[in-house]
Amino acid sequence: MGIDPKKLKRIPTPEQAPEERIHNFLEVNYGYDLESAQQEAFRCVKCPEEYAPCIKGCPVHIKIPLFIKQVEEGNIKEALRIIWMNNTLPAITGRVCPQEDQCEKDCVMGKIGDKINIGKLERFVADYARKTGIEEELLEEMIQSIEKKDQKVAIIGSGPAGLTAASELAKRGYQVTVFEALHEVGGVLVYGIPEFRLPNELVEHEVEKLKRLGVEFKLNYVVGRTVTIPELMEEYDAVFIASGAGTPRLLNIPGVNLGGVYTANEFLTRVNLMKAYKFPEYDTPVHVGKKVVIIGAGNTAMDAARTAKRLGADVYITYRRGEEDISAREEEVHHAREEGINFKLLLNPVEFIGDENGRVVKVKFEKMETLEERDSRGKRKIRGTGEYVELEADTVVIAIGKTAGKIIFQTTPGLEVDKRGTIVVDENLMTSIPGVFAGGDAIRGEATVILAMGDGRKAALAIHEYLQNKQ
Ligand code: FAD
Ligand code: SF4
Ligand code: SF4
C-alpha cells in the first residue's frame, strides 16, 4: 500500500542557526531543494480549483493546486508558467507574503494535520527556475511573443506595484518608463526589507528581466520636482502612480528630536541602501550602541530589531498592545524571538529622556492594560494604568507606520486624495484624472507586497483597455 499523504508532516526548510545568523546579514532561510519540495508537494491533496481555499486566500489567486502538482511531478517550467499567469515576482512573494493570513490560512490539510508550505514551494519554483536556466527559457519565449506598440506609459515608483505594472504593460508591447526618486530600483523591497529576509540580488535580477522586456528606468527622478504629472501627460498616453507610502508617522512626545532617535525608515534605509551592513567595505557605519529600543510591532519593527541585533545591540521591541495584536508576519516574530530580541508588551512611550549632550539615554513608558472591547480594526482596546517604567536606550527606532507623501498631490491639480493623503481611485484604479491610474500603498496606506503587486497587475490591464479604447 502507498503512503497516505494526509499522515505526513510538513517538510521543514533548513535555516541558519540563530547564534550564527545574528552575526551576519545573509539570508536566514535556505528554502527547499527539488527532493524536499517534491515531498512537500506530495502532501497537498490538490483540491479542485473551484473550491480550493488556498486560491481564494491568495490576493492574486494563483492556481496553487495546479502549480503544486507540477512541482510534485518535477515539471518546474510548467509550475513557473502557472505562477507567472498571476504573479511575476514569486521569488519575492514566496519570501515575504504573510502566508499564514492568506493562501495557507484555510488550507484543508490544516484540519487534519500540517498546512501545506505554499510560500516556500512558490519560492522554490522561482529559485530553481532561475538557477537552472528554466526561467531564462520562459522569458525568451515571452520576449519573442511581444508585439511592440507605439503608445507610452509612465510609471511613478519602482516598488512592487510599479515593477508589476511595468512587466504586465511591457508584455503587452507598450513603451514603459519607470521614474524612481531614489538611486536604486525596488522601493521598500530594497530600502526597507533587509538582506537577511530578501537578498537585494533577487530584486536586481527582476529589474534586469524588465529591462530585457524593454522597460526603461529613470533614477533620481522625483515626480513633482524633476517633472510633474501634467508634464508627463504631454508625452505619455497614460500614467500609473505607484509611489507608495514613504512618509513615516512620528510620535508627538517630548524628546522625539534627541540624537539617537530614528524613524524606522531612516534607520533601515541607512543600513540597507547605504550598505552600512557592509562596513568597513562601505564607509557608512551606523552606531547603535549597546541598547536599542524599538517602538511598534509590525514587520518594519521586526526588521529594525533584527537589523539592530546584527549590528551588535541588545534589542527591546516595545508595543502598546498585547501579544494577539502584533501585526508582523508569524515567521518574523518567531525568528526575532529565536534571535534573542526581548518583547515588552503593553508599554506606551510617553517621553524620550536625553543626557546633557542631547542624546537619548532612556525611554519612559506608561504601562497599559487590555480591555475586552475591540476597535474598528478588530484590535483589543487598551487603557493606561497610571504606572510608569523606564528602559535604557542608546538608540530608539520608531516603527509605527507610514503614510503617503504629499509632493505628487501638491503638484497635480485635480488629483483627489482622502484626508489621510491616500489617492482616491475608482474600481479600475483610475484616479480623478482620466488616464492617470494609481495603486499599491499610495492608495491603501501601508499594506503588503502582494496587494501592491495585485494593484500593479489590475492597473496594467485597465490601462491596456483604456489605451485600446483611446485608439
Ligand atoms: P513602495 O515599495 O513604497 O515603492 C514606492 C516607490 O516609489 C519607492 O521606490 C519610492 O522611492 C518611489 N517614489 C515615491 N515618491 C516618488 C516620486 N514623487 N517620484 C518618483 N518616485 C517616487 N509587506 C509584505 O507583504 N511582507 C513583508 O514582510 C513586509 N515587510 C516590510 C518591511 C518594511 C521595513 C516595510 C517598510 C514594509 C514592509 N512590507 C511588507 C510592506 C510592503 O513592503 C509595502 O506594502 C509595499 O512595498 C508597497 O509597494 P508599493 O509599490 O506600493 O510602494
Ligand atoms: Fe501565497 Fe503570496 Fe504566493 Fe499568493 S502570492 S500563493 S498569498 S505566497
Ligand atoms: Fe493543497 Fe491546501 Fe490548496 Fe488544498 S488548500 S490544494 S491541500 S494547498
pLDDT in tens, 30-55: 999 999 999 999 999 999 999 999 99
Query: Distance (Å, rounded) from C-alpha 421 to C-alpha 424?
Result: 9
56 CA distance to ligand 2 middle (Å): 10
Return the pLDDT at 5.
79
96 CA distance to ligand 3 middle (Å): 20
Query: Distance (Å, rounded) from C-alpha 157 to C-alpha 438?
Result: 11
93 CA distance to ligand 1 middle (Å): 14
Q: What is the four-CA torsion angle of 449, 451, 457, 458, rounded to 10 degrees?
A: -160
Give residues with Cβ within 8 angstroms of 241, minimum separation 6: 156, 157, 229, 408, 423, 431, 436, 437, 438, 439, 442
The binding-site residues of ligand 2, defined as CB within 6 angstroms of any ligand atom, are: 58, 60, 62, 64, 87, 93-94, 97, 99, 102-103, 118-119, 122, 450
Return the pLDDT at 339.
98
Ligand nearest to the CA of 301: 1
Residue 108 Cβ inside 6 Å of ligand 3? The answer reads: yes
Nearest CA owner, ligand 3 atom 4:
47
Nearest CA owner, ligand 3 atom 7:
44
Query: What is the chain's pLDDT, residue by residue, as a tens digit (471 residues)?
Result: 577 877 889 999 999 999 999 999 999 999 999 999 999 999 999 999 999 999 999 999 999 999 999 999 999 999 999 999 999 999 999 999 999 999 999 999 999 999 999 999 999 999 999 999 999 999 999 999 999 999 999 999 999 999 999 999 999 999 999 999 999 999 999 999 999 999 999 999 999 999 999 999 999 999 999 999 999 999 999 999 999 998 888 899 999 999 999 999 999 998 888 777 676 777 767 889 999 999 999 999 999 999 999 999 999 999 999 999 999 999 999 999 999 999 999 999 999 999 999 999 999 999 999 998 998 888 999 999 999 999 999 999 999 998 888 999 999 999 999 988 899 999 999 999 999 999 999 999 999 999 999 999 999 999 999 999 987
Sheet holding 347-354, edge to edge: 347-354, 360-374, 380-392
Closest atom, ligand 1, to C-alpha of 332: 28
Return the pLDDT at 1.
53
% helix / strand / coil in the chain, to the nearest 5?
Answer: 40, 20, 40
Candidates 163, 154, 169; CA nearest to 184 is 163
470 CA distance to ligand 2 middle (Å): 34
Residue with C-alpha cell 512611550?
349
Ligand nearest to the CA of 115: 3
Ligand nearest to the CA of 224: 1
Candidates 67, 81, 63, 72; CA nearest to 11 is 72
Residue 54 Cβ inside 6 Å of ligand 3? The answer reads: yes
Return the pLDDT at 338.
97
Candidate CATH numbers 3.30.70.270, 1.10.1060.10, 1.20.1090.10, 1.10.10.10; the one for domain 5-139:
1.10.1060.10
Show the cell assigned to 384.
493606561
Return the pLDDT at 400.
95
* Assigned CATH class of 149-241+403-470: alpha beta
Q: How many residues does the chain have?
A: 471
Range(s) for CATH 3.50.50.60 in the chain? Answer: 149-241+403-470, 250-400
55 CA distance to ligand 2 middle (Å): 9
Range(s) for CATH 1.10.1060.10 in the chain? Answer: 5-139
Ligand nearest to the CA of 6: 3
CA 273 centroid distance within chain? 16
The model's pTM is 0.95
> Which pLDDT tens digit goes with each residue over 211-222?
999 999 999 999
| 404 within 8 A of 247, measured Cβ to Cβ | yes
Return the pLDDT at 162.
98
CATH superfamily of 250-400: FAD/NAD(P)-binding domain (3.50.50.60)
- H or E stretch at 294: strand 291-295
Residue with C-alpha cell 514566496?
94
